């Protein structure tokens, strides 16, 4: 499928421009490398003293990386202290020598990503021939930092059972994390389930980093790349009051480090597989339904296979290697079975005989008793003549329920002949599988090189090729037929160059260039082309497309089918560039760090518009929507004028200073200050408009062309209207593709044309100073019990989705919405309203707008604090107990601005004439909805967090418990940076929605463990060693209380008239949870979770329509969870260096039914007034098995 030439040219120009920017940035960067470098991964600090406690200056420190042999030499300062920054993660040997003292050696010092670890030495008088060697504990108390963080080690990453082999399935293994993820993780960065909140913060406020580079898709609400599990060395979750060097995010920073090569050549290969044949059935998909029909197991075929190799590169025989490489390649092939279930027309009715449909029943609109000829008063004279020629009278039943062939629409017959509707498989329902394949190919390489003891560099490059098939079409909002679908291509890239320059023993500089980017290429597939369907297209606008219009039999009638190719073809380009510099300077007891950087995120993205057009059929003409379709009588038609590109640009700057001050032998202070310059995303060409209430002039209110105020007069002579002149405040957009389309522009501001309106549309705020204060106080003086705490202020970048969604506002987007048109030619009105319309006489459509609140758009701000104690329980066990909390201000949310007076709402509901005139009583006439994006909401979080980490002999154990309360005013995950839903009652504002966050789980506990069974593991008998010995057991146990449930109402409600709101019921009794056995309306078994008799719909007097009730947001709770994932491994050694690992993994190993109930995954029917209210309708996955094998060299 080819894109339009204009669109293709813009994509090529954008890609060329980005390559030039990339080459320029690399040239500048390579010039800098001659004197500077970056990539701090871990820091080692310590004090050297004698047996009396006096410090020893000028002691020689030798730090050796045991994996690569690389050595760092330095000396203690006058305070007897040493600081080694920018050390790669790994295991180290640290030696100390001083004149008159014996040699001291500490081995096995483990440095994790982001660590700041202390290793002190007490030297004894002696000679260099006298030495004392001590093995360091791999798990130690943090005596030098007050940050709240946790590390997931490489052993945990590879030896725990990661569901879907995704990093995101174990990212929540830390105190303060609350997950709304599903069980199985789709193995792609975009579409992978990242719904994990840390310390009550929004999902979009998390930041993922790889080797120090941001890996987030700002606006795509996901990661740029998702490295293979076998390529990740480890990762750290920084969750509260962390160092000033981290920022541009107000929630957790998850920083991952890729594996590196070592002095020894290593390689491995693997395969992991799943098949639905080995899975247990979900509670809600029993083999046989209550009605006797059989449920097939949803297809699941998942194969992951790949290899990696890493080691040294020697350029000179016999020399120590200075270059190390690591290469990883992985393929992920997934087929997930879905199910399509929709009512479709009977094939026997295609020729006009509707008897089979009518005899089956349930096809006529409510209140209709027969299939009737359209009322002639709703038809044009030309349409009337067609029925008269067929000897039919207005409103009479069709003889023998048959529509004459002469009345059948040509386009309708062409679409039916092409087969856009599948035949029903049961009654009038089509039930079919929708297997959606996903294929990922990933290549990853990392190079580490040491030029000399002062200068080193490393870098990585990741390339992922992702191709998915979506059945039905992605993001369509209602497509439900298998005859049209799409392919989703998502090539993604990440590149890093980091270098380190040791200028002097006390001065170290780091510099980095980071790149991340992806593409989205979506093409329609199946029967979508005009040549495929034979559809004869007559468009209102000049935008050409070879895509068949949307045919919507789900527009209020009884059928429910929607043929929809969405806005495809469509593609975008996203690129992120970052340059940063960090300088570390040690002076006395102070370790200073200064840094700054620049980040530029760009996205070229077309508008998401359906230029092919959208026909709706609701049965208003004949009583049956499919009969309307056969006659070509569409109740509504809409068409976008263009699919124009938007070129988004987001630039951020930052600078910081951090002082880690060893104030006393027991007290370390972490003192930092950070500034973030984060202006709002802008459209670099100014191709946008925004609504500004102070620019709206009521004197320029529109002249409406029709009674209900959906159209505005574009001039005199519009057919069947009272228009005598053009309405004031009309204007045309600057894009020639709009063909001079008039649009209402009262109150709109345009960058570069309206004084004071910038390309970012809102006022930027630059006073973003964030102090970071932390401390660690050694209570015992022996490093075994430490009091730790801190506070900090963090600022959040606004993602950019607010701008993306406003890209189609008036003057820069454009569409027409018409009622009662012909399927064969929407220019020809079915009735007199739009009779023989043309672009010249097209009335101006009253559109919805997205508004950014220009004067109240401060950057979201988080005030974070913690206080806790960390204690060493034995040599290899650490217990941490902390209070962690935060207060957040200026959070983004949405609210309807264009609200009619609340006193008018009852009349809208009880008076159909008043309801049809909604657009005539809003305060900003000429617009329907104005969805106001604001930064002004608050939230808070308070918690007790406990973590236990232990490594005793063959058992590695991590456990965590969180007791928390998170409150906010939103009802969505914040995955797009905003509330996914709007305030429930826009007349009361966000404070009426104050309540538990959707991530608020009162109790969350987990334990993960890895146990190497010791029996016969080292047996000299090869048979015993490889059969009875070599077993390994691991597991992840999760126990958590339920997530909040938000109640709604079923049936008619005021928010079907008022825009952007939601209705909740009244609470009339005590909330209770019977948790008793019940039956769904389908006849299948379930549980009655909550008692619906405690709630009632708040009806407008004299109507059956609901208005806002007194229920608060998220007042109920869903089911909790008790889940066990476990794995059994068998290691078979062939030689000392070659062994195989056979893996058997079971998710939900006990096959315990775990009912679901949360806003993200649903699970409990919470619509009061509907069917099955309060009953559970879904569950997490039943037991799922995965087999795997690894060969490790």
DSSP string, 89-143: SEEEEEEEE-TTB-EEEEEEEEE-TT-EEE--EEE-B--TT-EEEEEPPSS----
* pLDDT tens profile 1063-1076: 999 999 999 999 99
Measured over the CA atoms of residue 226, residue 229, residue 234 and residue 239, the dihedral's sign is positive
Q: Which two tokens stand for residue 24?
A: 């320029």
Cβ within 8 Å of residue 570, ≥6 positions away:
520, 522, 606, 608, 643
The SS3 assignment for 909 reads: helix
How far apart, in whole angstroms, are the C-alpha atoms of residue 712 and residue 1126? 65
pLDDT of residue 937: 87
Q: Which of 121-130, 371-380, 878-887, 1006-1015 has the least mean pLDDT?
A: 121-130
pLDDT of residue 641: 87
Q: Which two tokens stand for residue 216?
A: 């987030």
* pLDDT tens profile 1107-1140: 999 998 899 999 999 999 999 999 998 888 899 9
The answer, yes or no, to whether residue 977 has pLDDT greater than 70, is no
The answer, yes or no, to whether residue 35 has pLDDT greater than 50, is no
Is the peptide bond prior to 201 cis by the omega test (within 30 degrees of 0)? no
Q: What is the mean pLDDT of the chain?
A: 89
Cβ within 8 Å of residue 840, ≥6 positions away:
none
Residue 40 CA: distances (Å) to CA of 212, 498, 583, 658: 8, 9, 10, 14
pLDDT-derived band at 801 (thresholds 50, 70, 90) equals: confident
The answer, yes or no, to whether residue 638 has pLDDT greater than 60, is yes
pLDDT of residue 367: 85
Which residue's entry shows tokens 């705490």? 789
pLDDT of residue 829: 67
pLDDT of residue 978: 42
Q: Which of 461-475, 693-707, 709-723, 863-877 has the least mean pLDDT?
A: 709-723
Cβ within 8 Å of residue 1176, ≥6 positions away:
1086, 1087, 1089, 1119, 1155, 1156, 1157, 1163, 1164
**Burial category of 677 from C-beta neighbours within 10 Å (exposed 0-12, middle 13-18, buried 19 and up):** middle
pLDDT of residue 23: 43
The answer, yes or no, to whether residue 128 has pLDDT greater than 90, is no
**Burial category of 980 from C-beta neighbours within 10 Å (exposed 0-12, middle 13-18, buried 19 and up):** middle
pLDDT-derived band at 24 (thresholds 50, 70, 90) equals: very low
Q: What is the number of helices (H) and of strands (E) in the chain?
A: 11, 63
pLDDT of residue 1068: 97
Q: Which of 47-61, 475-489, 662-676, 905-919 has the least mean pLDDT?
A: 905-919
pLDDT-derived band at 799 (thresholds 50, 70, 90) equals: confident
Cα 426 to chain centroid, rounded: 37
Average pLDDT of span 457-482: 93
Q: Which two tokens stand for residue 1081?
A: 């309306």
The answer, yes or no, to whether residue 229 has pLDDT greater than 80, is yes
* pLDDT tens profile 358-369: 999 999 998 888
Average pLDDT of span 140-164: 94
How far apart, in whole angstroms, are the C-alpha atoms of residue 149 and residue 774? 13
The answer, yes or no, to whether residue 817 has pLDDT greater than 50, is yes
Q: Which of 261-265, 355-359, 709-713 has the least mean pLDDT?
A: 709-713
Residues of the chain above pLDDT 70, percent: 93
How far apart, in whole angstroms, are the C-alpha atoms of residue 838 and residue 381? 18
pLDDT of residue 194: 79
What is the set of domains in the chain, with CATH numbers?
43-135 (2.60.40.1120)
Residue whose C-alpha is closest to residue 1109's, from 993, 973, 969, 971 = 993
pLDDT of residue 134: 83
* pLDDT tens profile 174-213: 999 999 888 887 888 886 677 899 999 988 889 999 999 9
Distance spanning both ends of the chain, measured CA to CA: 46
Contact indicator for 188, 438 with CB cutoff of 8 Å: yes
pLDDT of residue 832: 44
Contact indicator for 640, 543 with CB cutoff of 8 Å: yes
pLDDT-derived band at 7 (thresholds 50, 70, 90) equals: very low
Residues of the chain above pLDDT 90, percent: 67
Average pLDDT of span 596-619: 94
pLDDT of residue 192: 67
Task: Determine what percent of the chain falls in helix, strand and coil, rounding each to the nearest 5.
Answer: 10, 45, 45
Q: Which two tokens stand for residue 266?
A: 């290593």
Comparing 913 with 475, which gets the higher pLDDT?
475
Average pLDDT of span 1059-1066: 88
Phi and psi for 36 in degrees, rounded to 5?
Answer: -135, 170
CB count within 10 Å of CB 325 equals 16
pLDDT of residue 973: 58
pLDDT-derived band at 979 (thresholds 50, 70, 90) equals: very low
* pLDDT tens profile 509-521: 999 999 999 999 9
pLDDT of residue 573: 95
Cβ within 8 Å of residue 884, ≥6 positions away:
148, 175, 176, 199, 239, 240, 865, 866, 868, 941, 943, 945
Comparing 495 with 219, which gets the higher pLDDT?
495
Contact indicator for 223, 215 with CB cutoff of 8 Å: yes
Contact indicator for 744, 844 with CB cutoff of 8 Å: yes
* pLDDT tens profile 306-333: 999 999 998 877 778 899 999 999 999 9
Average pLDDT of span 380-392: 89
pLDDT of residue 26: 44
């Amino acid at each position: 499928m080819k894109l339009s030439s204009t669109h293709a040219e813009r994509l090529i120009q954008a890609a060329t421009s980005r390559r030039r920017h990339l080459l320029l940035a690399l040239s500048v960067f390579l010039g800098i490398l001659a004197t500077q470098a970056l990539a701090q991964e871990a820091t080692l600090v310590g004090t050297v003293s004698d047996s009396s406690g006096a410090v020893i200056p000028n002691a020689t420190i030798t730090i050796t990386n045991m994996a690569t042999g690389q050595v760092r030499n330095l000396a203690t300062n006058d305070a007897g202290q040493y600081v080694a920054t920018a050390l790669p993660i790994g295991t180290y040997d640290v030696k100390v020598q001083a004149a008159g003292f014996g040699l001291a050696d500490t081995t096995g010092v483990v440095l994790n990503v982001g660590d700041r670890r202390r290793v002190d030495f007490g030297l004894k008088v002696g000679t260099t021939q006298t030495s004392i060697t001590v093995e360091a504990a791999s798990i130690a108390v943090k005596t030098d930092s007050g940050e709240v963080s946790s590390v997931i080690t490489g052993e945990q990453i590879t030896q725990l059972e990661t569901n879907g082999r995704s990093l995101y399935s174990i990212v929540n293994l830390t105190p303060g994390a609350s997950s709304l993820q599903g069980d199985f993780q789709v193995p792609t960065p975009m579409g992978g389930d990242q719904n994990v909140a840390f310390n009550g913060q929004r999902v979009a406020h998390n930041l993922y980093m790889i080797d120090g580079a941001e890996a987030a898709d700002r606006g795509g609400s996901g990661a740029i790349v998702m490295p293979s599990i076998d390529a990740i060395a480890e990762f750290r979750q920084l969750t509260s009051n962390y160092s000033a060097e981290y920022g541009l995010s107000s929630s957790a920073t998850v920083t991952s480090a890729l594996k590196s090569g070592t002095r020894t050549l290593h390689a491995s290969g693997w395969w992991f597989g799943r098949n639905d044949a080995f899975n247990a059935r979900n509670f809600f998909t029993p083999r046989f339904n209550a009605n006797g029909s059989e449920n097939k197991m949803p297809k699941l075929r998942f194969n992951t296979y790949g290899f990696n190799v890493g080691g040294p590169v020697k350029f000179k025989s016999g020399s120590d290697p200075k270059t190390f490489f690591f290469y990883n390649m992985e393929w992920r092939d997934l087929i997930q079975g879905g199910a399509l279930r929709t009512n479709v027309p009977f094939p026997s009715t295609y020729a006009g005989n509707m008897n089979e449909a009518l005899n089956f029943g349930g096809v006529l609109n409510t209140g209709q008793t027969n299939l009737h000829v359209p009322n002639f008063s709703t038809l044009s004279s030309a349409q009337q003549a067609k029925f008269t020629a067929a000897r039919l009278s207005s409103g009479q039943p069709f003889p023998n329920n048959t529509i004459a062939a002469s009345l059948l629409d040509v386009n309708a017959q062409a679409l039916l002949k092409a087969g856009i509707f599948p035949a029903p498989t049961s009654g009038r329902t089509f039930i079919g599988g929708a297997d959606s394949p996903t294929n990922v190919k990933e290549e990853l390489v990392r190079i580490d090189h040491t030029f000399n003891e002062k200068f080193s560099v490393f870098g990585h490059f990741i390339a992922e090729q992702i191709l998915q098939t979506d059945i039905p079409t992605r993001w369509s909002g209602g497509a439900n037929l298998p005859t049209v679908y799409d392919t989703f291509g998502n090539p993604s890239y990440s590149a890093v160059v980091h270098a380190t320059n040791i200028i002097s023993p006390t001065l170290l500089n780091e510099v980095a260039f980071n790149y991340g980017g992806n593409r989205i290429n979506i093409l329609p597939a199946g029967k979508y082309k005009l040549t495929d369907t034979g559809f004869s297209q007559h468009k209102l606008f000049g935008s050409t497309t070879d895509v068949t219009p949307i045919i919507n039999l789900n527009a209020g009638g009884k059928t429910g089918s929607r043929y929809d190719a969405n806005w495809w073809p469509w593609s975008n380009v996203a690129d992120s560039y970052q340059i940063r510099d960090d300088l570390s300077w040690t002076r006395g007891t102070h370790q200073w760090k200064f840094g700054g950087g620049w980040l530029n995120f760009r996205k070229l993205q077309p508008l998401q518009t359906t230029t092919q057009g959208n026909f709706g059929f609701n049965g208003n003409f004949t009583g049956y929507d499919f009969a309307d379709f056969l006659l070509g009588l569409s109740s509504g038609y809409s068409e976008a004028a263009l699919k124009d590109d938007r070129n988004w640009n987001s630039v951020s700057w930052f600078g910081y200073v951090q002082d880690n001050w060893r104030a006393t032998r027991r007290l370390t202070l972490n003192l930092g200050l950070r500034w973030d310059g984060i202006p709002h995303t802008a459209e670099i060409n100014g191709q946008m408009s925004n609504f500004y209430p102070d620019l709206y002039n009521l004197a320029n209110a529109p002249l409406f062309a029709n009674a209900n105020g959906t159209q505005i007069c574009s001039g005199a002579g519009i057919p069947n209207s009272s228009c005598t002149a053009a309405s004031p405040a009309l204007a045309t957009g600057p894009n020639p593709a709009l063909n001079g389309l008039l649009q209402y522009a009262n109150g709109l501001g345009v960058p570069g044309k309206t004084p004071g309106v910038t390309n970012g549309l809102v006022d930027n705020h630059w006073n973003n100073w964030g102090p970071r204060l932390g401390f660690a106080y050694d209570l015992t003086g022996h490093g075994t019990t430490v009091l730790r705490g801190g506070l900090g202020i963090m600022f959040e970048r606004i993602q950019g989705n607010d701008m993306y969604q406003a890209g189609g506002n008036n003057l820069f987007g454009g569409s027409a919405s018409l009622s009662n048109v012909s399927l064969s030619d929407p220019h020809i009105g079915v009735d007199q309203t739009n009779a023989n319309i043309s672009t010249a006489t097209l009335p101006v459509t009253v559109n919805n707008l997205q508004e950014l609140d220009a004067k109240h758009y401060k950057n979201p701000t988080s005030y974070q604090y913690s206080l806790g104690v960390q204690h060493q329980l034995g040599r290899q066990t650490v217990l941490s107990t902390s209070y962690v909390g935060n207060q957040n201000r200026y959070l983004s949310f949405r609210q309807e601005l264009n609200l009619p007076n609340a006193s008018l709402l009852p009349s809208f509901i009880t008076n159909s004439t008043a309801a049809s005139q909604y657009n005539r009583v809003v305060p900003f006439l000429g617009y329907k909805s104005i969805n106001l994006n604001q930064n002004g909401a608050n939230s808070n979080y308070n918690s007790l967090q406990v973590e236990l980490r232990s490594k005793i002999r063959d058992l590695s154990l991590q456990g965590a418990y969180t007791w928390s309360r998170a409150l906010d005013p939103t009802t969505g995950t914040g995955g797009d940076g905003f509330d996914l839903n709007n305030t429930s009652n826009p007349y009361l504002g966000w404070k009426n929605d104050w309540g538990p966050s959707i991530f608020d789980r009162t109790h969350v506990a987990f334990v993960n463990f890895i146990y190497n069974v010791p029996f016969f593991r080292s047996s000299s008998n090869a048979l015993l060693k490889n059969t009875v010995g070599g077993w390994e057991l691991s597991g992840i146990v999760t126990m958590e209380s339920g997530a909040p449930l938000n109640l709604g109402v079923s049936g008619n409600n005021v928010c079907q008239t008022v825009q952007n709101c939601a209705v909740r019921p009244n609470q009339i009794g005590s909330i209770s949870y019977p948790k008793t056995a019940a039956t769904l309306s389908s006849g299948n078994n379930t549980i009655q979770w909550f008692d619906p008799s405690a709630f009632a719909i708040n009806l407008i007097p004299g109507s059956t329509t609901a208005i806002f009730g007194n229920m608060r947001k998220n007042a109920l709770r869903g089911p909790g969870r008790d889940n066990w994932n476990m794995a059994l491994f068998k290691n078979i050694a062939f030689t000392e260096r070659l062994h195989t690992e056979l893996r058997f993994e079971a998710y939900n190993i006990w096959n315990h039914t775990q009912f679901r109930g949360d806003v993200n995954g649903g699970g409990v029917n919470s619509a009061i007034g509907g069917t099955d209210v309060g009953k559970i309708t879904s569950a997490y996955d039943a037991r799922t098995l995965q087999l795997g094998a690894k060969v490790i060299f």
